[in-house]
């Protein structure tokens, strides 16, 4: 497990991340960079780091960017989120990384374009990220994170609507969780 933290000193965030990452065995051979910085467009982001010379291969590192504040807020800190919520969020981001593994580096470029231009593609990959998180044992945390985002006044109504439109509904996560347990 190779995790490099950049500008991240908060113990709770680090512990939550490493305990989630531990369960994603298939990703451990990659260098994982976790950087905390101000992000405007989201609270967390998972991206492949691809060198230009590796554009036609599949060798790459990954970077998870963690906002300092919750999206839409300049007061609510990410480190104040409950642990379960943080873990669910990280499991979702690492779910994206598992999905990225099936793309070549060149394929990742069209992935990026499709994500921005196709609503159905966005919905499909957001559902996939949750699915991978559930398969790695984080169904409960995914549910907690969703419930928190959808009910907390820290998140704007616009953001909550995006979550409702593109992300897996709590009910479906619960169903999947039941079927993986049985």
- Give the Å distances, CA to CA, from 39 to 103, 131, 137: 26, 25, 28
Q: Which stretch binds Zn ion (CB under 5 A): 32-40, 104-112, 121-129, 152-160?
A: 121-129
136: phi then psi, degrees, rounded to nearest 5: -95, 10
* DSSP class per residue in 122-164: HHHHHHHHHHHHIIIIIHHHHHHHHHHHHH-TTS-HHHHHHHH
Return the number of the residue (34 or 54) whose C-beta is nearest Zn ion.
34
Q: Which stretch binds Zn ion (CB under 5 A): 9-17, 97-105, 113-121, 129-137?
A: 129-137
37: phi then psi, degrees, rounded to nearest 5: -160, 170
Return the number of the residue (162 or 177) whose C-beta is nearest Zn ion.
162
Return the number of the residue (54 or 176) whose C-beta is nearest Zn ion.
176
Number of residues that bind Zn ion (CB under 5 A): 2
Instruction: Report, in Å, the least distance between residue 68 CB and Zn ion.
Output: 19
Q: Which stretch binds Zn ion (CB under 5 A): 1-9, 74-82, 126-134, 153-161?
A: 126-134
Return the number of the residue (54 or 162) whose C-beta is nearest Zn ion.
162
Instruction: Report, in Å, the least distance between residue 112 CB and Zn ion.
Output: 13
Instruction: Report, in Å, the least distance between residue 92 CB and Zn ion.
Output: 5
Residue 154's closest CA among 98, 74, 64? 74
Return the number of the residue (47 or 59) whose C-beta is nearest Zn ion.
47
Strand spans (E) along the chain: 2-6, 31-36, 44-49, 61-66
DSSP 56: T
Instruction: Report, in Å, the least distance between residue 175 CB and Zn ion.
Output: 20
Structure tokens at 51: 């060198």
Q: Which stretch binds Zn ion (CB under 5 A): 78-86, 106-114, 119-127, 142-150?
A: 119-127
- Give the Å distances, CA to CA, from 161 to 58, 79, 164: 35, 24, 5
Return the number of the residue (84 or 88) whose C-beta is nearest Zn ion.
88
Contact residues for Zn ion, defined by CB under 5 A: 126, 129
């Amino acid at each position: 497990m190779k995790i490099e933290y950049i500008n991240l000193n908060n113990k709770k965030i680090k512990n939550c991340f490493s305990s989630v990452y531990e369960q994603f065995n298939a990703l451990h051979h990659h260098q994982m960079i976790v950087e905390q910085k101000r992000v405007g467009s989201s609270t967390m982001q998972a991206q492949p780091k691809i060198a230009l010379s590796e554009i036609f291969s599949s060798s790459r590192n990954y970077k998870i960017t963690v906002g300092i504040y919750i999206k839409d807020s300049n007061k609510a800190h990410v480190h104040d989120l409950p642990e379960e919520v943080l873990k669910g969020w990280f499991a979702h981001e690492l779910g994206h990384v598992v999905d990225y593994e099936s793309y070549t580096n060149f394929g990742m470029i069209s992935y990026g374009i499709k994500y921005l231009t196709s609503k159905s593609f966005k919905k499909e990959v957001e559902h996939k990220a949750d699915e991978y998180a559930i398969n790695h044992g984080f169904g409960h945390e995914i549910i907690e994170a969703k419930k928190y985002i959808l009910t907390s006044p820290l998140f704007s109504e616009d953001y909550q609507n995006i979550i409702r439109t593109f992300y897996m509904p709590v009910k479906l996560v619960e169903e999947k969780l039941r079927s993986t347990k049985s």
